[in-house]
Structure 1
Amino acid sequence: MIAQLVKSAADQGVYLYAKEGALHFDLTVAEFPAALKQDIIANKAEIIAFLSHAQSAGSESQGPQPGEYPDGCVLSYTQQRFWLLEQMQSGQSQYNMPVALNVEGALELTLVEKVLSTIVARHQILRTVYREQDDEVRQHVLQDSEFTLSFVDLSDSEGEQQQAQLSQCLLEEAQRPFDLTRQLSIRGQYLKLHGAGHAQQGVLLLTLHHIASDGWSMDVLINEFVTLYRAYSAQQVNPLPELALQYADFAVWQRDKMQGGEFEKQLTYWQQALEDAPLTHSLPTQHHRPEVKQTRGAHVTTSLPAYVAQQLELVARQAQLSPFMLMHAVLGVVISRHSNQSDIVIGTPVANRADEGLSPLIGCFVNTLALRLNTCHSTLAEYLDHVRQVHMNAQVNQDVPFEQLIDALNLPRTSSYTPLVQIMLTTNDKFTDGADESSLLNLPDLRLSPLQGSHPAIKFDMEIALNISDKHIETTWNYDVALFDAEFVEQLSEHFNNALISLADMTAQTRSTLPLNRLSILGDKLESYLIDGLNNNAADYPVDQCIHEVFEQQAMQTPEQIAVKFGSKQLTYRELNERANQLAHFLTREYQVTPDSFIGLCVERSLEMIIGTLAILKAGAAYVPLDPAYPRQRVTYMMENSGVKIILSTHFIIEQLDLTDYHSICIDGLGNAQVVQTFVDYPTYNPSELVKGLTSSNLAYAIYTSGSTGKPKGVLLEHKGIVNIAFNHRHYLKVDGQSKVLHFASMSFDAGTWEYVMALLSGATLVIADSVQRLSPESITQLLHSEAITHVLLPPAFLAMMEFRDDLALKALAVGGEACDQEVVEQWGGTYRMVNAYGPTEISICATWAELRPGQKVTIGKPLKNTSAFVLDSNQALLSPGVVGELYISGVGLARGYHQLPEQTAERFVSNPYFDGHNKCVTETLYKTGDLVRYLPDGELEYLGRIDQQVKIRGFRIEISEIEGLLSECLDVDAAVVTVATSATGAKHLVAYVQLSNQTAVNSASGHENINDSQAAIQRIKTELADRLPDYMVPGMFVPVSQWPLTSNGKIDKRALPEPDMTAVEGEYIAPETNSEKRLVIIWAQLLHLQESEISTSANFFALGGHSLLVSKLVRAVTSDPELQLQQIDMQDIFTAQSLAQLAQHIDLLRMQQLNAQAADSICDQDLVEDGEI
């Protein structure tokens, strides 16, 4: 685009040049054309970079020189790439470049043929063929070649029938492949639509192969066609000036130029700029990526009006950007927010015709620049500065051929997507280039116009074409239908336009300070729906009451109702309240407890556990649960970190943990029928009058959770959040005085608080499972039955191990703490009401919940009352439904933060950019959960895993939860966990732990047959995954497990999983065994200049240094090897094979097929001889 603008300026008498970083010009006309001046101002930065680079390059070496090449000449790097693609995808047409023109008037076909013959004779590249010789491909110009225009008569049909025939003809012609070894790289066809009796009308279709053409070339082609047709129709001679250069001159010059120091300097820049860049984009695809890249495309086109276009030109100028830079910046944001990825690589073509002599040539000069944007900038202004710098650097270093860059980066090769760049952005690439079409295409008695809707095959995953003018901004989104649906692309287009309109309507002052995450792409309606519509769940509840105050009210209402039961012991609400009051009075009188102070609670599971909890709250303090089953060192750290001075415990635990440095209060026997002597003299009434200054905003407890530093961190929770949970229990889970709630979890986990408040703040009975029962699925099942439990919360992994019974009294079976497998829902959800309770400790236990039903997707549902949820990207920008992002939560249950950890608190508890005070559920602070979710169409949230489950292996970003989800769908798998293991060499590998559906398959103790069954099952699983996942997402190692190790809270303990044997994936040397493997080792060693002993059969050709040039040599070496005896192998097979062993297996298969075909032919020939036919 910039080269075209500089050339257009020269054509209009304005000669531009750069000097000391500034733009200067000389005029050969009287006045600077106004429209040209505006274009130059809008693209000033890019023009300076382009001219500076061209002048620098020009000073280092001279440009292309004309030459003669009787023996053919080398290919340019772009030609080399297209030749390689042709060999890989023989018979494909995605690199055809068709242009269809509506013709109104009598087109003289003989004249058209003469015009196109002149153009073919004029541009040698159009009559160039490609031949392999001496281990390389060279281009040869055909001296005697004829151009023939084909003719199709559709005038006998009319209306829809004719349109259908026309569309079919255009499609067939556009998809007809070229034979680059013998055919011209251009062909033409005229389709006659109307003749006599109608105004003559038809369609002229010209198709070129990309190896001989690019967008600029199409301009040249059409311009020369019009010029020659006008001249020939007026009986004039060819008016076009003779070409000083041919494309082959450029190819030779480019190869020579790439040997210089300037090239090495530029290559170094790109290697650094693209280091560790994502290998593929992260846009969600609606279909699994095929193993081989498909070419069928579709498109979505939108347009913005003149006022937006004109305003955006002003915005770009104020930001010192070209309009294209601005559009690129906005596209980067849109893609980032739809992929939850801040590292965005988008390709864009550059003309690569800096030398003046290349401008009039047809040929593929275009080079692809991989522009890498980082959307992690705090403000829009900073981001636009970053975009400008990316473009300036790219312009200065634009000479490195994309093909050379791919080889230098040594990127993995695959046939399923294009390397490095899968999204392309182009601008004004139509052959009219915004010019007045009527003046360009009008011929004597003829009118030519582009045929709308004629599109070439899709070369990339997505190609966005911009047509920018002061009249409109037209955007065409071409997309691969094998990956994307129209609805998704329409959404991208809408959000792109929304962002452009938002920028156009924004004041300069706003743009200069706007946080980047507040650049709206969703539009006001959708943004309002995500902020308020999905979080419209404010509800009244006793926000000013503390946990114990609600309990005390319940004790007054139902004093003789059984409150808590443990084994054969039980207490009524009155008894429980009185025992807790006596202990609370003791604490307030003896230790002057104050609000927000901590008291430790270290007791076994018992009635005393609940009495102690309530007593601490009644005394105005916050409890710190200390599980006596924890390692002593961990308990000691929690006591020291929290600063507790008082600990409620038992004689045994006090002695065991040596709590002599603390005020250790023994509460043994508080749950007995008779109150223990220590507390018998203390009042049984509520001590509220003794507790001064306590409100629902004071702390209720501190729960210690695993910390990233290796030490647990204390989460500080207030009363009002827990009271809110209890009232949600009442209304959503229907907990009442007839309910029985199982206390399963340790009090050291927030689920322990969930369970006791569910019961005691709703008038239900709390049944405590003892320490032995809670470790046994069979015992818990029996307890649910014998106690007629109505409400229970269990970890899904524990529930999966329980034997199903259909005679339980359950009214609500809640699961939480970890993701729930579909199999668990299928087993239990058909009989009982299942609820998925999701929530981190930091949001007062539970933030969202969902009904789980068999046959329906497992979700985490919608926020609880007085709670709000937001799905945001890494910049905290709102994401639209369907887009994966991080879940942020706000509401009354939000924790204060982490005890004595201000940095971690600031990292996870962040300011809410969407708080405006009008929605009671949306608080000023958000909790950053680290969980990946997305909104489903019905507004429910789907949990997809942890952000820390996003791993990068061999440059690919991988979602472990996606692999786990697909594993769980395999028939041979009951459940699966995927982890990342690091080998001794530092390489990362995926390891899948699978619980096979046939348990005897993993019981190796019973015999080898079962081991073989297990191996067969794992092989089936690998095959199934390989059909649904790219190779880099298929775990390299599978470990069968008979039973999951569980944490004390019933979750799968990943740290206790068996260590994998890394030697299987370590890449150690594996010697060749079969003849094909041995021959390939020899061939690879010769091509890669390696010792045969360095090449393992597990090695990858490209990982060892192979590149695109060597692929064709490898193919020739394989097919010419006398021992392999293989007649043909496709280049694509080289890219598909992940190892030497796989390639050898494929060669053996091809050879078998070859022998079978030869045998069949021999039998057929013999039959013919016997029948006397020969």
Structure 2
Amino acid sequence: MTQSSIVSAIENAILNFAPYDALATDDEVITYRQFGEYVDEFSAKLQTSAKPGEFVGIEATRTAAAIVAMTGAMVAGCPFVFIDPRDSRSQNASKIASLDIKVVARTADRSPVPVIAAASTLPWGATEEQQPRLVGVEPGDDDRIAYAIHTSGSTGEPKCVLVRVDPLGQVIQDHVRRLAVTTRSRTLQFARLTFDGCITEILWTLTAGACLVVLPEQQLRPGGMLGATLEDFRITHLKTTPFALTATEPTPGMSLQHVINGGGACRPAVVRKWSEVAAFHNAYGTTETTICNLLTDPLTPDECADGVPLGDLVGEGALHLEPVPTGPEETAAGRVTRGELVITGGCVALGYLTSTGVRRFLDGSGARIYRTGDVVEERDGRLYFLERVDRQLKVRGYRIDPGEIESAACRCPGVVEAVVTAESHDGSAQGSADALVCYYLGAATAREVRGHLESVLDGYKVPSVIQQIDALPYTRNGKVDRDALRASRRAEPDSDAAVPAAEQILQLARRLTGTTDAGLEDNFFDIGGDSASTVILVTKLKELGWMDVGVRDVLRAENLRSLVLELSERSA
């Protein structure tokens, strides 16, 4: 199945399932017969405004018209890019200029048939100073472009990826088969249209004669709102993010049959929760390799106790691991079991559109290849995500994959999610990164998390600070806001002279280790203290007035009570 066969599959669905629901919004239902008429009307208009192979912009609104426009562009043989009016004028102007877009499909008065507007007439149309940059592409059958998608920029500057036509078909066909999509299925269109996850949601639905439910963003808000939407619209197929799955609770009133985690690392607690109400799958893929490369069969909590696998191959391609610098562990002789995931073959996109043309994803021999930048580990024939290569940390002389520690923390009973960062031990913004800090969600205590990590990790990987939090902060792109987490630790302890010495020392010990229930009977090192935090503790104690305290005092103290007594006697 290629893009042309995807179009054929949609046309067959229109013909064979004419009375069935194709699209459902909050105020209307569109049958496949009506959908076919709208697509034909739009594609006929488009063919008078754009030539096959020319890029078409589609206004990224959560409406039936946007879905009609995407399908109509495919029928007309025009590659497309979604343009979100909420993005900055410069971002959208750059998309239009770089892809040489002349027309944009827009939603008008909630009509299911888009109108076609000249790009130059739009508020965010390209300026005269911006010149088209889509050069260097001589389309052959293997290089025909289906769509362009812009990465979120979470690992650097956003990049424009040109995705080829040919890989799409097999990806969609594999999803339809593995997720058992039928004419009775109802998929919630969850992903933003400027994120490539929307492509699979839309196409696995429309090629199988199922119903795509398209709703305003406020009805998709994770938590109670999303839960109500899943119930009210009888959603059977949901692909969403780890954050949404963590924040939302399944209910008996839901009609879910298949739930897919995508867009981030999946945790055992999420599998436990959602596998009770539906077949639960984990998915992995990159924009540069046609959306999805790995998808699991339905998972059970027992098989995910030690981590959630990435899945089996989807679409056309192959993969292997290339070594990356890690800690002192040794890999099996002659075989890489941990490394950067490299994807090759037909699934690989054309390349990045740059200021000088297309930078193709090819190796020296001309074979298609993409290095994902993701560190994964093979265990018992399965792949598990560890971390981004560019997020590896250097702390205390060791190179560390924070994702490995996060995954280990999430295997602790009572931990739902965890994020590990490298920070200065005193929480200051200017300090050097001399401490591993683990923030976690869940009912487990910091002591329980520390004990678990000490039992499953080498000592140098156990975070110095383990801090329970009420909620994780997220950026607009749905990524964990690590800067906000770091800022949350910068509050200084109370230095009021009226505060008893014992309480001042407890405040310091708790902040330096994250053990919020630390008491006077605790030994500083048993609750997470280390050489670096000892130096910080001594410095802070001096700032609080104990000028003659030294590192030796902390090392010799049986517990925090004895340290308090020692310092109090000196102050008497």
TM-score under structure 1 length normalisation = 0.38
Find 1:813's aligned residue among 259, 275, 278.
Answer: 259
2:170 alignment counterpart? 724
Q: Which residue of 2 aligns with 1:625?
A: 82
In structure 2, relative to structure 1, the CA distance for the partners of 1:997 and 1:874 (3 Å cut) is closer
In 1, Cα distance between the equivalents of 2:271 and 2:155? 36
Aligned to 1:758: 204
- Report which of the two structures shows the higher radius of gyration computed on alpha carbons: 1
Q: Secondary structure at the match of 1:612?
A: helix
1:900 correspondence with 2:354 = yes
CA 696–756 in structure 1, closer or farther in 2 if over 3 Å, else same: farther
Q: Deviations over 1:106-131 (max 9, x none)?
A: xxxxxxxxxxxxxxxxxxxxxxxxxx
Cα distance in 2, alignment partners of residues 587 and 1046 from structure 1: 39
How far has the Cα of 1:912 moved from its partner? 8.2
Q: Is 1:575 the counterpart of 2:56 in the alignment? A: no
Determine the C-alpha separation between the residues in 1 that align with 2:186 and 2:446. Answer: 44
Residues 1148, 782 of structure 1: alpha-carbon distance in 2 compared, 3 angstrom cutoff: closer
CA contact (8 A) 2:58 2:83 kept: yes
Structure having the higher helix fraction is 1
The Cα of 1:976 is off from its aligned counterpart by 1.1
What corresponds to 2:309 in structure 1? 859
Cα distance, 1:879 vs structure 2: 9.0
1:599–1:647 Cα contact (<8 Å) kept: yes
1:1033 equivalenced with 2:461 (yes/no): yes
Question: What residue ranges of structure 2 are gaps of 5+ in the alignment?
Answer: 111-116, 124-138, 326-330, 494-500, 506-530, 537-549, 564-572
Whole-Å Cα distance in 2 between the matches of residues 1039 and 652 of structure 1?
50
What CA distance in whole angstroms lies between the structure 1 residues aligned with 2:554 and 2:214? 58
Q: 2:71 aligns with which of 597, 611, 614?
A: 614
Whole-Å separation in 1 of the counterparts to 2:167 and 2:344:
11
Given the alignment of the two structures, is residue 711 of structure 1 paired with residue 157 of structure 2, yes or no? yes
Give ranges in structure 1 of 5+ residues lacking alignment.
1-541, 654-658, 666-692, 914-922, 999-1016, 1066-1072, 1078-1094, 1101-1137, 1152-1174
Q: Which residue of 2 aligns with 1:1144?
A: 556
Instruction: State the 1:545 CA deviation.
Output: 2.5
Shift of 1:1018: 3.0
Post-superposition Cα deviations, 1:292-343, rounded to whole Å, max 9, x if no partner, equal xxxxxxxxxxxxxxxxxxxxxxxxxxxxxxxxxxxxxxxxxxxxxxxxxxxx
| Alpha-carbon distance between aligned partners in 2 of 1:702 and 1:648, rounded to the nearest angstrom | 15
Residue equivalent to 2:401: 959
Does the residue aligned with 1:1043 lie in a helix, a strand or coil?
coil
2:280 maps to: 834
SS class of match (1:813): strand
Question: What is the Cα deviation at residue 861 of structure 1?
Answer: 1.7
Q: CA deviation at 1:1054?
A: 4.1
Q: How does 1:570-969 map to 2 (within 5 A)?
A: 570-589=29-48, 591-595=49-53, 597-650=54-107, 662-664=120-122, 697-707=143-153, 710-851=156-297, 852-857=299-304, 858-874=308-324, 883-900=337-354, 905=359, 909-911=361-363, 924-937=367-380, 939-969=381-411
Shift of 1:973: 3.0
Q: Deviations over 1:373-420 (max 9, x none)?
A: xxxxxxxxxxxxxxxxxxxxxxxxxxxxxxxxxxxxxxxxxxxxxxxx
Aligned residue number for residue 1098 of structure 1: 534
- 1:1055–1:722 distance in 2 versus 1, CA, 3 Å: farther
Aligned length: 484
Does the Cα contact within 8 Å between 1:978 and 1:993 map onto a contact in 2?
Answer: yes
Q: Supply the AA of the counterpart residue of 1:723.
A: G
d(CA) in 1 for partners of 2:439 and 2:412? Answer: 13
- 1:970 paired residue number: 412
Instruction: Find the partner of 2:443 among 973, 979, 997.
Output: 997
> What do the CA deviations read for 1:211-239 (whole angstroms, capped 9, x no partner)?
xxxxxxxxxxxxxxxxxxxxxxxxxxxxx
In structure 1, the residue corresponding to 2:9 is in which secondary structure? Answer: helix
CA contact (8 A) 2:150 2:161 kept: yes
Distance in structure 1 (CA, Å) of the matches to 2:66 and 2:171? 21
Cα deviation, 1:494-536, whole Å, max 9, x if unaligned, reads xxxxxxxxxxxxxxxxxxxxxxxxxxxxxxxxxxxxxxxxxxx
Give a deviation string over 1:804-825, Cα, whole Å, max 9, x none: 2244322211111101110011
Distance 1:1028 1:792 in 2: 34
- Deviation, structure 1 residue 748: 0.7
- Which whole-Å deviations, capped at 9, do the CAs of 1:1024-1083 have from their partners, x for residues lacking one? 545554554333444543223345565544455462445889xxxxxxx99xx9xxxxxx
The one-letter code sitting in structure 1 at the alignment partner of 2:302 is G
Secondary structure at the counterpart of residue 772 of structure 1: helix
Q: Is the contact between residue 795 and residue 818 of structure 1 (CA under 8 Å) also seen in structure 2? A: yes
Cα distance in structure 2, aligned partners of 1:788 and 1:1148: 57
Change (3 A) 1:1061 1:835: closer
Aligned ranges 1:109-124 → 2 under 5 Å? none
The 3 A distance-change label for structure 1 pair 831 and 959 is same
* 1:262-308 residue CA offsets vs partner (Å, 9 max, x unmatched): xxxxxxxxxxxxxxxxxxxxxxxxxxxxxxxxxxxxxxxxxxxxxxx
Report 1:1154-1165 matches (<5 A): none
Q: Which of 11, 27, 42 does residue 552 from structure 1 map onto? A: 11
Q: Matches of 1:825 and 1:844 in 2, distance apart? A: 25
Offset of residue 954 of structure 1: 2.9
Match of 1:1044 among 463, 472, 484: 472
Structure 1 CA distance, aligned partners of 2:140 and 2:109? 33
Provide the rounded CA distance (Å) in 2 between the counterparts of 1:650 and 1:1038.
49
8 Å contact 2:104–2:119 — kept in the other structure? no
Superposed displacement of residue 952, structure 1: 1.1
Counterpart secondary structure, 1:992 = strand
Shift of 1:617: 2.0
- The superposition leaves residues 748-786 of structure 1 with CA deviations (integer Å, 9 ceiling, x where unpaired) of 111111100010111111111321111243232222223
Give the aligned residue type for 2:535.
Answer: A
Q: Distance in 2 between matches of 1:660 and 1:729?
A: 36
How far residue 839 of structure 1 moved from its aligned partner, in angstroms, is 0.6
Distance 1:610 1:887, change over 3 A: same
